[in-house]
């Protein structure tokens, strides 16, 4: 019989036994080795360091984010960082939760095997607790949404086990998940998209193309710097040996449809995985269509609009909450939004086939059909367009392309242009579409008229005049006197600003004759105001004052807006006549009316006029004070902001504060260049020359 005593063993046997014992007790992990770290993890250093700090204190952590955002890469990078290796040694494990049955038994078996506890078929954590508590361990539960989905068959039971695991003193638990239903002690870290620099580094590491391109950067922007989408795009381009030009071309053709590699890795698989979850399916058959509506709108959906936009969707607040819990959407500035790659994939390919989207369009159309103007009822309520202009513009851009012969969609378009004019003056992508309409479409001149007002509101009066001239021709052909007169009014004002006062006077007089014949006293009053402004520019002050006085006599109660404009104009006339006190009286009268109705645009221009008055009197501090008050009412009006900065620059120039003057003039020039405001641009350049 052979002895097992070490003293009876050969020296070689003793050495082997010693090594085996040493390896088993010190260096060989009893469980499974974690996967290797990612080769590169651009732009995640700060987040990785945060996770490491939490892990060193054994705090449970949850990395939350949509599919493909990089949660697993971050977790693996943390697992292999030196502070974590030094702290936990070989007791670092990663469990992929989508690779075993989503049951309590399945989870416990997998946990026992990965950490090397050697316990067969544990019913709960009790038999594993002594093993897990004997040493400090770092456990990553990757893709934990697969087991933590509350609507899953064993979701509650698994959640309880994971919650208990997170509470063990020697265990640092790190969860990566698309859903936010994680144990309450977990420090939840939302994983953001990449910075533009990190996105660029990620792409070119795989794409392997040294030729950088601004067009490629724009594609990264359109992908919202989503890591998986960038990786797939770079892989496809690399595998196909595309140069930059071909990559841009393919993206232009297929958008996210190009994100499909030769090994069948794609964005669609990742997104469909989220849509296949029990929680999403529990939302019912309308959930995907509702998600498609969110995807359709670039800004997402304003949370204040859930009730009126989706009256037929029951439990809509809960449904939108679940979208966020599933990381399909996120909340920002009061909107529920979606990352661009998800938006492109989930957006209805045929918007007219989506019943819910068509219903949403009709609801927006009704909202845009109201009369908008300072003296119209509910004027303040129409300011909703400031927050939703991009959404509405996109909606109209799509549906005017799908049905260009629909008068209803163009009526809605006109309503949108009117809302923009009063609340958020800017250029619009709808402009070229309006101009391409055939002249025989009866609604075209109205659209041209609304579009011209937008150009005028941003200071591009040459373009305004061109559009008005075209609209006037079409109104005359349609023999519509009222609209001919309205167009003549606007054309007269455009010509006044362009310095063509004699031409403007003829147009204003023709408009006046038409409205007198039609018996429209309010429009008659407006024509007198237009004529007065023209005569003022020609320095015919008494004639101008007489016209404004006649306009005031025509106005009735409830017509406060033209009355406000009349007082402001009388202030301008008095300013030009160097009647300072009388000018202040009329400006204050106009300001009292405008303030009563909270007409921000009018308040801005009244303070601007007062600034000019004090500027002309060399009272520069008072002038500056009024410009500061004017700026408080700029809102989203870029042109008004440019005019305020210009006025401020003139004041600083006269005060010999040339540095401030130069800075203000350059800022104003930047605004006017973007808007195409040629006359304002030339005025600011003249100011720069004076400063120099």
Q: What is the pLDDT of residue 30?
A: 58
Percent composition of the chain: helix, strand, coil (DSSP 3-state, to 5): 65, 5, 30
pLDDT at 10: 46
* Contacts of residue 134, Cβ cutoff 8 Å, sequence gap at least 6: 170
**pLDDT computed for residue 108 by the predictor:** 94
Q: Which of 418, 406, 428 is nearest to 449 (CA)?
A: 418
pLDDT at res. 16:
39
Contact yes or no for 315/287 (Cβ under 8 A): no
Count the alpha carbons within 13 Å of 365 in the hemisphere toward its beta carbon: 16
Q: Residue 241, class by beta-carbon neighbours within 10 Å (0-12 exposed, 13-18 middle, 19+ buried)?
A: exposed
Residue 11 phi/psi, 5° resolution? -55, -35
Residues 6 or more apart whose Cβ sits within 8 Å of residue 646: 664, 665, 668, 680, 683, 684, 687
The partner residues of 96 in beta bridges, in order of sequence, read 142
* Rounded Cα–Cα distance for residues 607 and 627 (Å): 6
Mean pLDDT of each 10-residue bin along the chain, 692 residues long: 38 41 42 87 95 95 95 96 94 93 92 90 90 92 93 89 93 95 94 95 87 89 93 91 91 86 81 91 91 95 92 89 94 94 93 94 95 87 94 97 93 96 94 95 95 94 96 96 96 95 97 95 95 96 96 91 95 95 96 93 95 94 95 90 94 92 94 88 91 82
pLDDT of amino acid 8: 42
DSSP for 385-445, written as a single string: HHHHHHHHHHHHHHHHHH-TT-HHHHHHHHHHHHHHHHH-----THHHHHHHS-TT-TTHH
């Amino acid at each position: 019989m052979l002895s097992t005593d070490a003293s009876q063993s050969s020296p070689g046997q003793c050495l082997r036994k010693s090594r085996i014992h040493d390896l088993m007790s010190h260096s060989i992990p009893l469980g499974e080795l974690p996967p290797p770290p990612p080769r590169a993890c651009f732009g995640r250093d700060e987040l990785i360091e945060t996770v490491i700090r939490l892990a060193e204190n054994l705090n449970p952590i949850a990395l939350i984010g949509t599919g493909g955002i990089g949660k697993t890469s971050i977790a693996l990078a943390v697992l292999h960082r030196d502070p974590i290796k030094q702290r936990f040694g070989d007791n670092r494990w990663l469990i992929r939760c989508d690779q075993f049955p989503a049951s309590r038994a399945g989870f416990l078996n997998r946990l026992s095997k990965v950490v090397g506890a050697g316990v067969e078929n544990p019913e709960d954590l009790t038999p594993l607790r002594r093993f897990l508590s004997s040493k400090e361990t770092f456990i990553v539960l990757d893709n934990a949404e697969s087991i933590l989905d509350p609507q899953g068959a064993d979701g509650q039971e698994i959640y309880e086990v994971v919650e208990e695991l997170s509470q063990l003193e020697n265990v640092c638990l790190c969860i990566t998940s698309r859903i936010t239903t994680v144990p309450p002690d977990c420090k939840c870290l939302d994983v953001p998209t990449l910075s533009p620099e990190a996105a660029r580094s990620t792409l070119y590491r795989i794409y392997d193309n040294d030729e950088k391109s601004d067009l490629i950067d724009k594609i990264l922007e359109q992908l919202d710097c989503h890591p998986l989408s960038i990786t797939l795009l770079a892989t496809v381009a690399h595998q196909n040996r595309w140069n930059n030009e071909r990559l841009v071309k393919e993206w232009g053709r297929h958008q996210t449809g190009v994100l499909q590699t030769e090994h069948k890795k794609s964005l669609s698989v990742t997104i469909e995985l989220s849509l296949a979850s029990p929680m999403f399916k529990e939302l019912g058959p309308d959930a995907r269509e509702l998600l498609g509506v969110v995807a359709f709108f670039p800004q997402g959906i304003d949370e204040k609009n859930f009730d009126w936009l989706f009256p037929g969707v029951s439990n809509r607040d809960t449904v939108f909450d679940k979208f966020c819990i599933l990381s399909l959407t996120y909340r920002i500035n009061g909107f529920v939004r979606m990352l661009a790659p998800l938006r492109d994939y989930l957006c209805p390919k045929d918007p007219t086939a989506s019943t819910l989207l068509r219903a949403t369009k009709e609801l927006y159309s009704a909202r845009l059909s109201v009369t908008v103007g300072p003296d119209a009822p509910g004027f303040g309520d129409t300011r909703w367009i400031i927050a939703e202009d991009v959404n509405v513009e996109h909606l109209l851009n799509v549906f005017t392309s799908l049905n260009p012969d629909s008068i209803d969609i163009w009526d809605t378009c006109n309503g949108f242009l009117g809302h923009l004019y009063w609340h958020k003056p800017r250029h619009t992508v709808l402009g070229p579409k309006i101009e391409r309409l055939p002249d025989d479409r009866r609604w075209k001149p109205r659209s041209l008229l609304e579009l011209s007002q937008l150009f005028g509101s941003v200071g591009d009066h040459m373009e305004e005049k061109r559009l008005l001239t075209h609209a006037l021709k079409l109104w005359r052909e349609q023999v519509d006197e009222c609209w001919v007169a309205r167009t003549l009014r606007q054309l007269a004002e455009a010509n006044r600003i362009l310095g063509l006062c004699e031409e403007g006077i003829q147009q204003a007089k023709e408009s006046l004759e038409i409205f007198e014949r039609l018996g429209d006293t309010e429009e008659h009053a407006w024509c007198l105001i237009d004529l007065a402004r023209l005569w003022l520019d020609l320095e015919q002050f008494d004639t101008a004052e007489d016209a404004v006085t006649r306009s005031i006599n025509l106005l009735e109660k409830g017509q406060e807006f033209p009355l406000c404009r009349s007082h402001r104009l009388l202030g301008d006339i008095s300013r030009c006549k160097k009647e300072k006190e009388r000018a202040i009286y009329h400006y204050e009268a106009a300001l009292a009316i405008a303030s009563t109705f909270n007409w921000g645009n009018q308040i801005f221009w009244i303070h601007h006029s007062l600034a000019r008055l004090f500027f002309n009197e060399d009272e520069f501090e008072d002038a500056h004070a009024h410009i500061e008050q004017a700026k408080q009412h700029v809102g989203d009006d870029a042109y008004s902001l440019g005019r305020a900065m210009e006025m401020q620059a003139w004041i600083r120039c006269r005060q010999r504060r040339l540095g401030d003057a130069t800075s203000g003039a350059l800022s104003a020039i930047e605004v006017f260049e973007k808007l195409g405001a040629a006359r304002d641009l030339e005025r600011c350049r003249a100011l720069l020359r004076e400063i120099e």
